[in-house]
Amino acid sequence: MDHQACNIRILSYAYIAKEVNVTWFKRGAVRHNSEIDLPEYSIKNITAEYCDGTYVYAITKNSYKKDQFSCLEGKLFLRRSIGYHLVQSYIPTGLIVIISWVSFWIDRRAVPARVTLSFTTLLSLSTLVSL
């Protein structure tokens, strides 16, 4: 379906780069644990980068300063799985809609049955949306 990029930045806002220099411990510092699986996404790529740069920060309410900060950035590139949404959203919603059509075959004079079926499908859809 679609792709997402999640950035995780680690830097000290209290100390400038002259005072604290953050570095990655080793190559492959950001890794994927294969035992952990996300039902909604699959991890396509992971990168570890440096994002050192000049950042503006507030000293007081109306006073700002610009300094060099040391920064680390890990990026996760994710792909959304269609199967998860089919099972969790599309198929249940389709079944509820089909069940609601049954009210057209119920006798017109059986008002309590038709109202109960309509109300039940409405509650089922509202519950499905809130999950």
Q: What is the pLDDT of residues 10-53, one digit of tens each?
A: 988 788 888 999 888 887 788 888 888 888 888 899 999 998 88
- The confidence score (pLDDT) of residue 60 equals 85
- The confidence score (pLDDT) of residue 87 equals 86
- The confidence score (pLDDT) of residue 77 equals 94
Say whether pLDDT at 131 is over 80.
Answer: no
Q: What are phi and psi of 82, to 5 degrees?
A: -75, -30
Say whether pLDDT at 73 is over 90.
Answer: yes
What tokens does 40 get?
A: 């909604």
Say whether pLDDT at 1 is over 80.
Answer: no
CA angle 107, 121, 83 (to 5 degrees): 130
Q: What residue ranges do the domains of the chain occupy?
A: 3-80, 83-130
Q: What is the pLDDT of residues 81-113, one digit of tens each?
A: 888 888 888 899 999 999 889 888 988 899 999
d(CA 80, CA 93): 20
Whole-model pTM?
A: 0.62
Strand order in the sheet with 3-11: 3-11, 71-80, 41-50
Confidence of residue 120 (pLDDT cuts 50, 70, 90): very high
- The confidence score (pLDDT) of residue 33 equals 84
- The confidence score (pLDDT) of residue 7 equals 93
Average pLDDT in the 67-74 region? 91
- The confidence score (pLDDT) of residue 79 equals 92
Of 119, 8, 1, 11, the closest CA to residue 71 belongs to 11
